[in-house]
Chain A
Amino acid sequence: MPPQQAVAALPARASSNLRLGLLVPAVAAVVALALLPVFTSGYVVYVANVLLVYVVLSLGLNLVIGEAGQFSLSHAAFYGIGIYAAALGNKLLGLPLVGCLLLAGVVAALLGGVIGTIALRMRDIYLALTTFAFGEAMQWLFLNWEPVTGGPNGLRIPPSSLFGVEILNDKQAYPVVLGVALLMLGATVVISRSRLGRAFRAVRESDVAAMAMGIPVRRVKIMAFLLSAFYAGVAGGLFATFSTYIHPESLGFQTTMTVLTMVVVGGLGSTGGALLGAVVFGLISELLRQAPAVQEMTYGLILILFMMFVPRGLAPAVSRWVRGRGHV
Chain B
Amino acid sequence: MGMRSVRAALLGGVLAMAGGLTALAQEVGVTPDRVRIGMFAPLSGPSAAYGQDVLNAARMWFDKINREGGIHGRQIEAVVEDDRCNANDLVAAVKKLVEQSNVFALNGGSCSAAVVAASDYVVRNRVPLVMLNASGDGALFPPNDYIYGAFSISQHAAGGSAVEFAARHFNARRIAYVNHDDAYGAWNLNAAKFQAERRGAGLNVQSISPNITDVTAPMVRLRAANPEVLVIMTYARPAALIIRKAMELGYRGPIVVAVNATADLRQMVANGGGPEAFRNVYIQEVLADLPGSARLQWVYDMYRQAYPQLASQEGRPQVYMPYGLPSAMSVTRALEAAGPELTREKFLAALQGLDFDSGVMAGPIRFGPRNRAAQQAAIYIKYDGATMERVPGSFASDWRFE
Residues of A within 8 A of B (CB): 37, 41-44, 46-47, 50, 143, 146, 150-154, 156, 162-165, 167-172, 174-175, 243-247, 249-250, 286, 289-290, 292-293, 295-296
Check if B170 is an interface residue, CB within 8 A of chain A. Answer: no
A163, B11: Cβ atoms closer than 8 Å: yes
A to B CB contacts below 8 Å, 11 in the list: A42-B95, A43-B99, A152-B183, A153-B182, A162-B11, A164-B8, A164-B12, A243-B117, A247-B116, A250-B86, A292-B43
Check if B329 is an interface residue, CB within 8 A of chain A. Answer: no
A289, B86: Cβ atoms closer than 8 Å: no
Given contacts A46-B92, A50-B92, A165-B15, contact A245 B120 (CB under 8 A): yes
Q: How far is the CA of A250 from the CA of B20 in the complex (A)?
A: 30
Q: How far is the CB of B194 from chain A (nearest CB, A)?
A: 19
B87, A168: Cβ atoms closer than 8 Å: no
Measured between beta carbons, the chain A residues less than 8 angstroms from B48 are 292
B44, A286: Cβ atoms closer than 8 Å: no
B45, A296: Cβ atoms closer than 8 Å: yes
Q: How far is the CA of A31 from the CA of B377 in the complex (A)?
A: 57
A165, B12: Cβ atoms closer than 8 Å: yes
A289, B113: Cβ atoms closer than 8 Å: no
B18, A37: Cβ atoms closer than 8 Å: yes
Residue of A47, A162, A245, A289 touching B116 (CB-CB under 8 A): A245
A172, B15: Cβ atoms closer than 8 Å: yes
Q: Which of B1-56 contact A (CB under 8 A)?
A: 4, 7-8, 11-12, 15-16, 18-20, 43-45, 48
Check if B401 is an interface residue, CB within 8 A of chain A. Answer: no
Q: How far is the CA of A293 from the CA of B182 in the complex (A)?
A: 33
Q: How far is the CB of A72 from chain B (nearest CB, A)?
A: 22
Measured between beta carbons, the chain A residues less than 8 angstroms from B87 are 154, 245-247, 249-250
A289, B18: Cβ atoms closer than 8 Å: no
B113, A154: Cβ atoms closer than 8 Å: yes
Residue of A156, A170, A295 touching B95 (CB-CB under 8 A): A170
Measured between beta carbons, the chain A residues less than 8 angstroms from B93 are 289
Measured between beta carbons, the chain B residues less than 8 angstroms from A293 are 43-44
Measured between beta carbons, the chain A residues less than 8 angstroms from B84 are 289
Q: Which of B88-106 contact A (CB under 8 A)?
A: 88-89, 91-93, 95-96, 98-100
Measured between beta carbons, the chain B residues less than 8 angstroms from A42 are 20, 95, 98-99
**Residue from B16, B18, B20, B119 with most neighbouring chain A CB atoms (10 Å):** B18
Measured between beta carbons, the chain B residues less than 8 angstroms from A146 are 182-183
Measured between beta carbons, the chain A residues less than 8 angstroms from B285 are none
Q: How far is the CB of B128 from chain A (nearest CB, A)?
A: 18
B92, A245: Cβ atoms closer than 8 Å: no
A247, B182: Cβ atoms closer than 8 Å: no
**Residue from A44, A150, A153, A245 with most neighbouring chain B CB atoms (10 Å):** A245
B120, A289: Cβ atoms closer than 8 Å: no
Q: How far is the CA of A244 from the CA of B20 in the complex (A)?
A: 20
Q: How far is the CA of A167 from the CA of B120 in the complex (A)?
A: 13
Given contacts A165-B15, A247-B113, contact A46 B91 (CB under 8 A): yes
Residue of B8, B18, B116 touching A171 (CB-CB under 8 A): B18
Check if B121 is an interface residue, CB within 8 A of chain A. Answer: yes
Check if B124 is an interface residue, CB within 8 A of chain A. Answer: yes
Measured between beta carbons, the chain B residues less than 8 angstroms from A296 are 44-45
B100, A43: Cβ atoms closer than 8 Å: yes
Residue of B8, B19, B92, B138 touching A169 (CB-CB under 8 A): B19
Measured between beta carbons, the chain A residues less than 8 angstroms from B95 are 42-43, 46, 170
Measured between beta carbons, the chain A residues less than 8 angstroms from B184 are 152
Given contacts A165-B11, A293-B44, contact A245 B18 (CB under 8 A): no
Check if B164 is an interface residue, CB within 8 A of chain A. Answer: no
Residue of B4, B7, B113, B117 touching A152 (CB-CB under 8 A): B113
Check if B82 is an interface residue, CB within 8 A of chain A. Answer: yes
B88, A289: Cβ atoms closer than 8 Å: no
B92, A244: Cβ atoms closer than 8 Å: no
A41, B99: Cβ atoms closer than 8 Å: yes
Q: How far is the CA of A44 from the CA of B95 in the complex (A)?
A: 9
B11, A171: Cβ atoms closer than 8 Å: no
Among residues of A, the one whose C-beta sits closest to the C-beta of B8 is A164
B8, A163: Cβ atoms closer than 8 Å: yes
Q: How far is the CA of A153 from the CA of B20 in the complex (A)?
A: 32
Q: How far is the CA of A19 from the CA of B289 in the complex (A)?
A: 72
Among residues of B, the one whose C-beta sits closest to the C-beta of A140 is B211
B44, A244: Cβ atoms closer than 8 Å: no
A244, B121: Cβ atoms closer than 8 Å: yes
Q: How far is the CB of A181 from chain B (nearest CB, A)?
A: 16
B91, A171: Cβ atoms closer than 8 Å: no
Known A-B contacts: A150-B183, A289-B82. Give 9 more (CB < 8 A): A43-B92, A43-B99, A50-B92, A162-B11, A164-B12, A172-B15, A244-B121, A245-B119, A292-B44
Among residues of A, the one whose C-beta sits closest to the C-beta of B81 is A289
B92, A286: Cβ atoms closer than 8 Å: yes
Q: How far is the CB of B180 from chain A (nearest CB, A)?
A: 9
B88, A156: Cβ atoms closer than 8 Å: no
Measured between beta carbons, the chain A residues less than 8 angstroms from B43 are 292-293
Residue of B4, B19, B45 touching A172 (CB-CB under 8 A): B19
Among residues of B, the one whose C-beta sits closest to the C-beta of A46 is B95
**Residue from A146, A162, A172, A174 with most neighbouring chain B CB atoms (10 Å):** A172
Q: How far is the CA of A286 from the CA of B84 in the complex (A)?
A: 11
Measured between beta carbons, the chain B residues less than 8 angstroms from A243 are 91, 117
B20, A44: Cβ atoms closer than 8 Å: no
Q: How far is the CA of A50 from the CA of B117 in the complex (A)?
A: 15
Check if B114 is an interface residue, CB within 8 A of chain A. Answer: yes
Q: How far is the CA of A245 from the CA of B121 in the complex (A)?
A: 10
Measured between beta carbons, the chain B residues less than 8 angstroms from A289 are 81-82, 84, 89, 92-93
Q: How far is the CB of B160 from chain A (nearest CB, A)?
A: 19
Measured between beta carbons, the chain B residues less than 8 angstroms from A247 are 87, 113-114, 116-117
Measured between beta carbons, the chain B residues less than 8 angstroms from A150 are 183
Measured between beta carbons, the chain B residues less than 8 angstroms from A164 are 4, 8, 11-12
Given contacts A50-B92, A245-B120, A289-B81, contact A171 B100 (CB under 8 A): no
A175, B18: Cβ atoms closer than 8 Å: yes
A250, B88: Cβ atoms closer than 8 Å: yes
Q: How far is the CA of A70 from the CA of B183 in the complex (A)?
A: 38
